[in-house]
Amino acid sequence: MKLSILDQSPRYEGERAEDAFQHTIQLAQLAEELGYHRFWVAEHHDSEHVVGSSPEVLISHLLAKTHHIRIGSGGVMLQHYSPYKVAENFNVLASLSPNRIDLGIGRAPGGLPHSTQALQQNSQPTKSLTDKLIELKQYLNDTLPEDHPLYGLKAYPRPKKSADIFLLGASASSAELAGSLNLPYVFAQFINGDQKVLKEAISVYNQHVSSRARSLVVALSVIVADTVEEAKALASSTKIFKVYLQNGKSATLGSKEKAEEFGQQSKESYRIEEKEANVIYGTKETIRQKLQALKQEFSIDEFIILTAIQNFEQKKQSYTLLKEAFNEGDAQKINQTLAAY
């Protein structure tokens, strides 16, 4: 079972941003020691509770604080940026730490309407996200076509191996785009927990991607504890708030206050729906069974795990128990690792 970690650098009550980043660093180091495959950080804007607004900068620091684990973005919100500049940033990272860099691309804005407006200030929204993704891939692979107006332009430096691109999404349309470009696809099941949508997205991805390029990752919210009751209690505190705009668009936020703010900034009629977060919780045994069943049903290559627990020690324990669930023979070694962190 290939397992990875997604961390959003949350800042909890009574903490500073510096504390949140230190927790991310410690978690990346623990992930490496426990044998997780990769460690990703997110991009959020205009949020005092989720402080990771610049994944490229944070990735660079995490690379210096770890030794071999893959580090990447989950993800860079490409709609805001120049594909050329993103390619330059990640070529620098791939040159500094060869064969360790992942470039996950997100399709969401990563913030509220005002932050989107600020990020795209003075930019010309002439290219679709699909066009930007294609161009990014060309810059990274140095395959800009001759009919491109900037043909001959290079995204220096040129690493021996460029960052691996992943497309993140939670719908059939994102799955189709990933498949058509033969990119690894990451379905954010912790955002869209509708099993029908998951099935449809995977089916569409399988239809469009070549068998050689297929790589399916599912991002899950998981909490593991010593008892089911404890895990359930930890999971019950996690809520999500869905904002539905009059124009048909929607957004998922982590608090009612942010949901209200999103609706007000959109300057459209809106409604908010409070939901239980889609969290898979249980003991080592039950979580192992649930993930193995998902893997078998959908031929999933990898799970990337988000654990939203406010107590950092409990959060580390959950990730440790999860790794123990699939490495029972290494339980003693894992426990010794946890004690060091």
> What is the C-alpha separation between 333 and 246, in angstroms, rounded?
54
CATH of the domain at 20: 3.20.20.30
Instruction: Work out the pLDDT band at 58, boundaries 50, 70, 90.
Output: very high
Q: Mean of the pLDDT values across residues 141-170?
A: 97
253 lies in some domain? no
Tell me: the pLDDT tens digits for 244-253? Answer: 888 888 887 7
Tell me: the pLDDT tens digits for 174-195? Answer: 999 999 999 999 999 998 889 9
Written as six digits, the tokens of 329 are 């023979």
Q: Which residues contact 9 (CB under 8 A, 6 or more apart)?
A: 20, 21, 23, 24, 41, 42, 50, 51, 52, 58
Comparing 73-82, 228-237, 257-266, 329-338, the range with the smallest average pLDDT is 329-338
Instruction: Work out the pLDDT band at 125, boundaries 50, 70, 90.
Output: low
> What is the C-alpha separation between 73 and 265, in angstroms, rounded?
27
Task: Give the residue among 319, 326, 239, 250 at the shortest CA–CA distance from 279.
Answer: 239
Amino acid at 200: E
Phi, psi of 320 (to 5 degrees): -70, -45
Comparing 38-52, 106-120, 223-237, the range with the smallest average pLDDT is 106-120
Q: Which residues contact 222 (CB under 8 A, 6 or more apart)?
A: 279, 280, 281, 287, 291, 305, 306, 307, 318, 322
Instruction: Work out the pLDDT band at 127, boundaries 50, 70, 90.
Output: confident
Tell me: pLDDT of 128 over 80: yes
Instruction: Work out the pLDDT band at 132, boundaries 50, 70, 90.
Output: very high
Q: For the purposes of burial, counting CB atoms within 10 Å of the CB of 224, is it exposed (0-12), middle (13-18) or buried (19 or more)?
A: buried
Give Dmax (Cα) for the chain.
61
Percent of the chain with pLDDT over 70: 95
Q: Which domain holds residue 27?
A: 2-224+280-339
Tell me: the pLDDT tens digits for 231-244? Answer: 999 998 777 788 88
315 lies in some domain? yes
**For residues 250 and 293, which has the higher predicted lDDT (pLDDT)?**
293
Q: Mean of the pLDDT values across residues 257-268?
A: 86
**Quick one: pLDDT at residue 338?**
53
Tell me: pLDDT of 337 over 70: no
Per the prediction, the chain carries an average pLDDT of: 92
154 lies in some domain? yes
Secondary structure class of 201 (helix, strand, coil): helix
Q: Are 307 and 221 in contact (CB under 8 A)?
A: yes
Tell me: pLDDT of 257 over 60: yes
> What is the C-alpha separation between 304 and 296, in angstroms, rounded?
16
Q: Mean of the pLDDT values across residues 134-156?
A: 97
Query: What is the β-pairing status of strands 185-188 and 216-224?
Result: parallel
Q: For the purposes of burial, counting CB atoms within 10 Å of the CB of 312, is it exposed (0-12), middle (13-18) or buried (19 or more)?
A: middle
**Quick one: pLDDT at residue 261?**
87
Tell me: pLDDT of 51 over 90: yes
The Cα-based distances of 249 to 112, 126, 178, 262, 265 in angstroms read 13, 21, 21, 12, 14
Domain count, the chain: 1
44 lies in some domain? yes
**Quick one: pLDDT at residue 242?**
82
**Quick one: pLDDT at residue 27?**
98
